[in-house]
Amino acid sequence: MVECNICKKEFKEDKNLHLHIKAHKLAIGSYYHTQFPKYDRHTKELIKFKNKQQYFSADFNTKKNLKCWLKNASLEKAREYCKGLLVKRKKEKSLEYTPTEVELRTLLVPPISYYQTIFKDYYKLCEEIGLKNKLGPLPKKRQDGKIKFEEEFNDEHLIYVDSREQNPLKIKDFPTEVKGLKFGDYCLNDKDKTGNCYIERKSVPDLIGTLSSGLERFKNEIKRAEEEDAYMVILVERKLEECLAFNKLPYVYKKNTRVTPDFIFHNVRELIQKFAHIQFLFVDGRVECVRIVKKLLLTKILKTKFDLQLAYDLKLL
């Protein structure tokens, strides 16, 4: 039961309460602002209201405000707050695995690099609070600052391109063959060499459709990969920060903007936690997609699983 804080009338669910609030001539956001005021820790402004869960869980209105607050906080206070975010999310979302870079960057929390700075070992911290590490630390950098893996292939190697791929990447300097794949869009014709890795390419409209109306079908595809002991990288041909605001991108039609970025990335996080054999990686355009496809399929980079988005964000990949 939930109670109206104005007239004390009780209701079975929040949606009934929210309908009732109109009788007090208040918008839902105004009701929570007046009856349960919450303030941004940095600016001291009221927390913007999107929905009840978001409102009561938010401490800041923007990541910029969070960053400024952490910059001015003592190391002890920053550690306490950031660890608390992970503990709280583990409990509220029943997390099993250590959150990936994609998960953290799509939430109002610091990225892994900040956790590394203040705790030295993000993965050890997550283990201490009861999370499982499905990904390990980044491989050591070489002298040029990159994670280097030499290409290893012979004349018999080629990249399979799924016959259903409607807008295939132009891989000009390596042999390809169109072939019907059970899942994914790209793979090497040598499963042992790549650790049985498959790459699922997505444009932004593809991502929106797949993670909304096509979600159940996509889950079935992921399950087929799991049954074949395959590793799947969902490669999106747009930077993560742009995808987080896809409803503002000019080429995403209005019919797609009915689905919000919050909804799509909620589903992204759910998939990452549900399936240990997948990763999402957002890169800067189709040319970058080609480079990453070759990096993943023509080297042994995935022999040891690590966070690809973190490596890409740090310009190591």
Does 267 lie in the same domain as 195? yes
- % of residues, the chain, pLDDT over 70: 97
Does 33 lie in the same domain as 82? no
CA distance 281 to 289: 10
Model confidence band, residue 203 (pLDDT cutoffs 50, 70, 90): very high
Does 74 lie in the same domain as 175? no
Picking from 105, 128, 151, the residue at the C-terminal end of a domain is 128
HEC profile of the chain:
CEECCCCCCEECCHHHHHHHHHHHCCCHHHHHHHHCCCECCCCCCECCCCCHHHHHHCCCCCHHHHHHHHHHCCHHHHHHHHHHHHHHHHHHHCCCECCCHHHHHCCCCCCHHHHHHHHCCHHHHHHHCCCECCCECCCCCCCCCCCCCCCCCCCCCCEEEECCCCCCCCCCCCCEEEECCCCCCEEECCHHHHCCEEEEEECHHHHHHHCCCCHHHHHHHHHHHHHCCCEEEEEECCCHHHHCCHHHCCCCCCCCCCCCHHHHHHHHHHHHHHCCCEEEEECCCHHHHHHHHHHHHHCCCCCCCECHHHHHHCCCC
- Indicate whether 257 pLDDT > 70: no
Does 288 lie in the same domain as 166? yes
Non-local (6+) Cβ contacts of 99 within 8 A are: 86, 89, 126, 131
Query: In whole angstroms, how far apart are CA 179 and each of 7, 74, 163, 188, 249?
Result: 66, 57, 5, 11, 33
Predicted confidence at residue 251, as pLDDT, reads 75
Q: Is there a domain that residue 276 lies in?
A: yes
Q: Are 172 and 136 in contact (CB under 8 A)?
A: no
Q: Is there a domain that residue 145 lies in?
A: no
Does 52 lie in the same domain as 80? no
Count of domains observed in the chain: 3
Q: Is there a domain that residue 136 lies in?
A: no
Q: Is there a domain that residue 142 lies in?
A: no
Q: Is there a domain that residue 233 lies in?
A: yes
- Indicate whether 123 pLDDT > 80: yes
Q: Which of 147, 135, 144 is nearest to 102 (CA)?
A: 135
Q: Is there a domain that residue 213 lies in?
A: yes
Does 277 lie in the same domain as 193? yes
- Whole-structure pTM over 0.75, yes or no? yes
Average pLDDT over residues 187-210: 93
Model confidence band, residue 304 (pLDDT cutoffs 50, 70, 90): confident
Backbone angles phi, psi at 294, to 5 degrees: -65, -40
Picking from 106, 128, 150, the residue at the C-terminal end of a domain is 128
Does 289 lie in the same domain as 203? yes
- The one-letter code for the residue type at 133 is N
Does 289 lie in the same domain as 183? yes
**Which residue's entry shows tokens 């349960």?**
36
Q: Which residue has the higher pLDDT, 140 or 205?
A: 205
> Domain range for residue 14?
2-57
Look over the chain and give the mean of its residue pLDDT values, rounded to a whole number. Answer: 93
CB atoms within 10 A of CB 313: 19
CA distance 314 to 287: 19
> For the packed helices 75-93 and 63-72, what is the interaxial angle rounded to 10 degrees?
140
Picking from 128, 144, 169, the residue at the C-terminal end of a domain is 128
Q: What is the CATH number of the domain that holds 211?
A: 3.40.50.10130
Predicted confidence at residue 243, as pLDDT, reads 96
Does 211 lie in the same domain as 295? yes
Torsion of CA 126, 123, 40, 91, to 10 degrees: -20
Does 69 lie in the same domain as 48? no
The greatest distance separating any two alpha carbons of the chain, rounded to the nearest whole angstrom, comes to 78
Predicted confidence at residue 145, as pLDDT, reads 65
Q: Is there a domain that residue 152 lies in?
A: no
Model confidence band, residue 50 (pLDDT cutoffs 50, 70, 90): very high
Q: Is there a domain that residue 46 lies in?
A: yes
Write out the two tokens for 270. Answer: 């759910």
Does 204 lie in the same domain as 120? no
Does 190 lie in the same domain as 80? no
